[in-house]
Amino acid sequence: MATRLLCYTVLCLLGARILNSKVIQTPRYLVKGQGQKAKMRCIPEKGHPVVFWYQQNKNNEFKFLINFQNQEVLQQIDMTEKRFSAECPSNSPCSLEIQSSEAGDSALYLCASSLFGTSDYTFGSGTRLLVIGKA
């Protein structure tokens, strides 16, 4: 009984943390077939001009993808043979898009925002992408 109550309490607290997140990511889960387009969105914390996208694989390894400051790209990786693209337009959600999904793209994609880009990142709850079979 005590274990069940503890689990329930932890789940409630985790849920509250996600609901109170100041960075909003959608969708929470995304299932795509190989070759399909996958698009995720992020609304950064109000007043945060710096936005980051990361990929966290099944081994919990973080990979930096891209970051923006005031809608301009500051740094980015090769964006995986140009299959990945991202934008962060003014007054609209930022987005990360995979043009042609591959099984290796299955991961948790995290958006974070910051006031200065050097510390105090606020992370969204993430988008869990699962790429299955053929489109």
Question: According to the model, what pLDDT value does residue 91 have?
Answer: 81
Domains by residue range for the chain, with CATH: 2-134 (2.60.40.10)
CA distance 1 to 21: 30
Question: According to the model, what pLDDT value does residue 95 have?
Answer: 97
CA distance 68 to 94: 10
pTM of the model: 0.80
The residue-averaged pLDDT of 67-96 equals 86
pLDDT digits (tens, 9 = 90+) for 96-125: 999 999 999 999 999 999 988 777 899 999
Question: According to the model, what pLDDT value does residue 54 have?
Answer: 96
Question: According to the model, what pLDDT value does residue 110 have?
Answer: 98
Question: According to the model, what pLDDT value does residue 44 have?
Answer: 95
CA distance 37 to 31: 10
Question: According to the model, what pLDDT value does residue 59 have?
Answer: 92
CA-closest candidate to residue 86, choices 116, 106, 115, 110: 110
Encoded amino acid at 2, one letter: A
Question: According to the model, what pLDDT value does residue 81 have?
Answer: 61
The reply to whether omega before 49 is within 30° of 0 (cis) is: no
C-alpha neighbours within 13 Å on the C-beta side of residue 116: 3
CA distance 53 to 47: 18
pLDDT digits (tens, 9 = 90+) for 39-80: 999 999 998 999 999 999 999 999 999 999 998 888 888 765
